[in-house]
Chain A
Amino acid sequence: MKSLDDLKKIRDGAQKKVVMRGKHDGIRILVGMATCGISAGARPVMNLFVEKIAERDLNTVTVTPVGCIGECAIEPIVEILQGEERTTYCRVNEEVAERIFNEHIIGGKVVSDNVIGKFRL
């Protein structure tokens, strides 16, 4: 059982970090979390991103649940925002999410198998 003391330790550890995690800096991962996304399996995908970010202690990557963009048939949809670049991935399961994390977030290379469009904002 994780106790409140553990939480306090985490808090104290976090306070020591110099870098503050800015909400809109670095890489943003958006996961479609409307009815369509949820029923297609978006929740475990989002969970995987959270665990991976925590595991590597990345200060510049955030993951946020968002609504529906109207392409319910190809959910779960994940968008990666980095500067002005926007990459939209579709039909993302946990396996694809892990590839996106390793190859795109860490490696900087788009996972072309699941991309539906890449354009400048």
Chain B
Amino acid sequence: MNELSLHILDICQNSIKADASLITIIIEEDIINDFYKIIIGDNGHGMSQKTLSEVSDPFFTTRSTRKVGLGVSLFKMAAEMCNGSFSVDSIVNKGTVVTALFEHGHIDRAPLGDIGETIMILILNEKDIDIYYEHIYNNKKYVFDTREIRKVLGDIPFTEYSVILWIKDNIVNGIKNLQKEETK
């Protein structure tokens, strides 16, 4: 996968499958200390210690349609390739947190890519989940929260596609502004 946002989409699918009602995506970029950190948390049904020990094994999967499960292992590989680290913490019936750390300036670190598209697709998922997204760029911050959007929308669903496109644009512009202000 050539974008970090594709990994995020992939990892969040696991949260959805774990019946999470809230997914928290936090990205912290620090140019000065040269790190790029992605933390994905959910309140899904979590994993046992045994499952947790197997989760980044590419030959571990919960599904029956095939014998490999590459999502977590690919994300782990991407982080470790960039002098980073990767960890998964989980508590049964509480939730799971996936943390991936990258060297910001590492040549192999993929760009974030279209995170707006990623969040849009997560929102359009069949299960009704809330997404909290926080992007920190040095000391500036952009926050997006579907719970806030729901307050404005009332009974208009997210499947109103003009709404979903507004969300995508809002996120893309929000992040663009973070970086723009920085270069002044």
Contact = CB atoms under 8 A, between A and B. Distances in A.
B113 to A, nearest CB: 9
Contacts of A106: none
A43 B6 contact: yes
Interface in A1-31: 1-2, 4, 6-8, 10-11, 13-15, 21, 23
A2 to B, nearest CB: 5
Nearest to A5: B152
A53 B165 CA distance: 11
Given A35-B71, A54-B165, A65-B121, A11 B152 contact: yes
Interface string A51-75: 1011001000011111111101000
Q: How large is the interface on B (under 10, 10 to 19, 20 to 34, 35 or more residues)?
A: 35 or more
A38 B162 contact: no
A13 B166 CA distance: 13
Contact of A63 (B70, B74, B124, B160): B124
B126 interface: yes
Nearest to B155: A15
A94 B78 CA distance: 26
A47 interface: yes
Nearest to A58: B161
Given A38-B10, A70-B65, A6 B117 contact: no
A2 B13 contact: no
Contacts of B32: none
A33 B13 contact: yes
Given A8-B152, A64-B125, A68-B63, A34 B159 contact: no
Interface of B: 1, 6, 9-10, 13, 17, 63, 65-66, 69-71, 74, 114, 117-118, 120-121, 124-126, 149, 152-154, 156-157, 159-166, 169-170, 173-174, 177
16 contacts: A2-B169, A13-B162, A14-B160, A33-B13, A34-B10, A35-B71, A36-B70, A43-B114, A43-B117, A43-B118, A46-B124, A47-B114, A50-B124, A50-B164, A65-B121, A67-B13
